[in-house]
Amino acid sequence: MRVLVVEDDRDLNRQLVTALTDAGYAVDSAFDGEEGYFLGETEPYDLVILDTGLPKMDGISVLEQWRRAERKMPVIILTARDRWSDKVTGIDAGADDYVAKPFHMEELLARIRAQVRRASGHARSDLECGPLRLDTKTARVTLSGQPVKLTSHEYRLLAYLMHHNERVVSRTELVEHLYEQDFDRDSNTIEVFIGRLRKKIPPDMIKTIRGLGYRLSREVDDN
Amino acid sequence: MTTNSLAFRLFATAVAWTLLALPIAGAIIYSLYAQEVATSFDRRLTVLLTVVLSDTIDHGDQEPGDPKDVGEPLFEVTHSGWYWQIKPLDGRPGREIKSRSLADMSIPLPSENNVEPNEREVRIASLDGPLEQRLRVAETIYVFGEGKMAQRYSVAIAGTLGEVDTSLRNFRTRLALALSLAGIGFLALTLFQVRFGLFPLAKVEKGLTAIRSGDATRLDVGLPQEIRPLQQELNALLKSNQEIVERARTHVGNLAHALKTPLAVIRNEARDDQSPLARKVTEQADIMTDQVNLYLDRARMAARVGVIGRVTEVRPVSESIIRALERIYHDKQLSFSTDCTPGTRFQGERQDLEEMLGNLLDNASKWARSKVILAASPLPDSGNGAGHWLEIRVDDDGPGLTPEQMADPVIRGRRLDETKPGSGLGHSIVADLAHSYSGKLELARSEHGGLSARLILPLAT
């Protein structure tokens, strides 16, 4: 899952990036409205955390322009302006949720999980696929009830596949959603991590669809 | 028309002027008329005297002859009030003749009453005649005969003043009547003039009432040139008042932004650290957050005090908030229903209504299992002059509150439930805001199972 943080306060931006990275997200950050708008316009984020009081271009305008450009990723507005008139303005501009500063990081993380789940069409916080189970709250994976130990990159990959299970996910899509912007996209890291994952879960669950990508499926003995 | 009003001042001045001026004018007109009447009466007597004198001279020689034609029939009617008389003076014998109307009486003579002659040697005086008639008498002295035979005669004409008096009395009555009518007409005209002239001021009064009741934000009535500057100044004042409030709100918002971001940074920095210092920092940051929120709310409320009223339609505000909440609580699949009586308008700022409805609806959505119900309607007029009020009720089907919690849930800083995210100050903010509008917030058990929050606010009429 790839997240964009647009926040001009450098300390808060750093804290958000750290907390989100720790929670298993690939995080890009922007420090002003123009930079934020450009990233959100060009990169396929799964979620954006957007401050409203930004230099160069305010958050509400950034959001409105994204929505006009048909960018539909979930956006959580993070702002000190917590009056209801501000909230209504934010939601009407196309935000999906609203978190007022000063906030509790746990609350923000919970809202992020909820938005990511909602965007991929899942109603509950723990995702299931056959014997596999992923609790997004605690970032724990179990296989038939037994915990599976994963590195953070393996977790990111599996979490993305679980969010989009039974669907073919291209290698490009995986690269775009799992790594920060400055990741070297020509490397074969995706293949390496798929290989490692197949050693930890029933290998047939992740199918390679030649020329298209991968599919996580609960039907183990398909072909 | 109260005594301390422009209308009264103008009208009272007009009344005073009328009461003073009309009698004086009447007196002057009357005296001029009376003088004119007297002068013309005297002229007539003088003419008659001349006629009688020349007639008697024509028909006599050493002594007066009988006048043949003096051209006044009333001299022939007994006691008519019109008389002539010729008699010798100085107690000497001589011919004495008089008009038939005088019968056996005689005319009182000015020469015997020390009246001085005028430049034509005629003495004119008003004297009491026979039969209690007031007479105007004109008399001249003429000498008949020559030498020793010369004898001074008094030739006199008398006319009764009765008809002059009657004519003057009639004139006085008519004059008084005419002047009274003129006075009444003048006062009526003044009354109309005052009303018509001051009509723009009545419009100003209406316009100000409309501003006060929130139906208008500026004075926009067509005013005459003289008080148009007043209107412009007033509108400028209203505008600057609104701008000051807007600026105060903006500053408050900026302050919030300036303080809350560092607070968020401090809190997050101390989050993962279990040291006593980190715990202290977290605790103090929370206190600071509450303080910032408390005083921001107060500043927002203070910024509103004294602002001339605005009117906010309840329905669009509740709809926009519900639209936002449907998005925020998308996962809960809540059903929101709104029952808003048309014309339910809140006498106050839109932002404040948004804040109250937002907090109540947010709270209800947070706790509701499946539905949130909003109903807004004007309350029937209590008829005791307490003003007009509207009621907004927000119900949910959540767990609700215990009676103890309901008894005092609005004390600032107390969280109703620590497990739900959010500041927990929702109800206290709503209660404070409602209170600042002289309204109130009441909590009760809802018929739908959860909490029922009832908000009473001033209704714009």
Interchain contact, A102 vs B331, CB within 8 Å: no
Task: Kindly identify which residue of chain A lies nearest to residue B321, measuring between CA atoms.
Answer: A88
B166 has pLDDT over 70: yes
Phi and psi at residue A28, to the nearest 5°:
-110, 150
pLDDT tens for A5-21 read 999 889 899 999 999 98
- Band (pLDDT 50/70/90 cuts) for residue A219 is low
Q: Is the pLDDT of residue B70 over 80?
A: no
Confidence check: pLDDT of B308 > 60:
no
Nearest to A87 among B259, B263, B324 (CB): B324
- The pLDDT value recorded for residue B145 is 81
**Domain with residues B6-167, CATH architecture:** 2-Layer Sandwich (3.30)
Q: Give percent of chain B with pLDDT exceeding 70.
A: 90
User: How far is it, in rounded angstroms, from Cα B50 to Cα B30?
Assistant: 30
Closest approach of chain B CAs to the CA of A191, in angstroms? 35
Say if residue B204's pLDDT is above 90. Answer: no
**Residue range B395-437, pLDDT digits in tens:** 988 887 777 666 654 443 344 444 444 444 567 778 878 888 8
Span A165-194, mean pLDDT? 79
B263 touches chain A (CB under 8 A): yes
Out of A79, A98, A104, name the one closest to residue B421 (CB): A104
Question: Tell me, what's the pLDDT at B39?
Answer: 92
Percentage of residues of chain B with pLDDT beyond 90: 15
Which H or E run includes B32? helix B6-59
* A14 lies within 8 A of chain B by CB: no
Average pLDDT over residues B94-116: 85
Average pLDDT over residues B8-21: 90
Q: What does the CA dihedral A135, A139, A145, A146 come to, rounded to 10 degrees?
A: 170
Chain A positions touching B253 (Cβ under 8 A) are: 81, 83
Q: Mind listing the pLDDT tens digit for each residue in B85-99?
A: 988 888 777 888 888
Q: Which of B264, B269, B324 sits opposite A88 (nearest CB)?
A: B324
> B311-458, what's its fold?
Heat Shock Protein 90 (3.30.565)
* Chain B residues inside the 8 Å CB shell of A92: 320, 323-324
User: What domains, with CATH codes, occur in chain A?
Assistant: 2-119 (3.40.50.2300), 126-216 (1.10.10.10)
Give the burial class of A57: count Cβ atoms within 10 A of its Cβ; 0-12 exposed, 13-18 middle, 19 or more buried.
middle
- Give me chain B's average pLDDT, please: 83
pLDDT at residue A179 above 50? yes
Looking at chain A, the whole-number percentage of residues with pLDDT higher than 70 is 95
Test B267 with A87 for CB contact under 8 angstroms. no
> What's the pLDDT at A47?
93
Task: Look up residue A108 and give its amino acid.
Answer: L
Of the given ranges (B125-139, B207-221, B356-370), which has the lowest mean pLDDT? Answer: B207-221
Model confidence at B293: pLDDT above 70: yes
State residue B24's pLDDT score: 95
Cβ atoms of residues B164 and B77 within 8 Å = no
Residue B417: predicted pLDDT: 44
- Asked if B68 is an interface residue toward chain A (Cβ–Cβ < 8 A), one would say no
Q: Mean pLDDT across the stretch A173-197?
A: 78
Question: What mean pLDDT do residues A119-147 have?
Answer: 81
Instruction: Say which residue the tokens 């028309």 belong to.
Output: B1
Joined together, the tokens standing for residue A114 give: 């909820």
pLDDT at B53 over 80: yes
Nearest residue, CB atoms, B320 vs list A80, A88, A97: A88
The C-alpha of B403 sits at a distance from chain A's nearest C-alpha, in angstroms, of: 29
pLDDT at B91: 78
The pLDDT tens digits for A24-49 are 888 999 999 999 999 998 888 989 99
CB contact under 8 A, A88 and B328: no
Closest CB to A91: pick one of B264, B324, B351: B324
Residue B359 contacts A, CB cutoff 8 Å: yes
Residue B291 predicted with pLDDT over 50: yes
Q: Which residues of B touch A123 (CB under 8 A)?
A: 331
Does the structure show a pLDDT above 60 at B359?
yes
pLDDT single digits (tens) A78-97: 888 778 888 888 888 889 98
**Please, which residues have CB within 8 angstroms of residue B205's CB and are 6 or more apart in sequence?**
none
Task: Compare A109 and A126 and report the one with higher pLDDT.
Answer: A109
Do B360 and B416 form a contact (C-beta atoms < 8 A)?
no
Please report the pLDDT score of residue B214 as a whole number. 64
Nearest residue to B361 via CA among B432, B452, B293: B452
**pLDDT at position A107 over 50:** yes
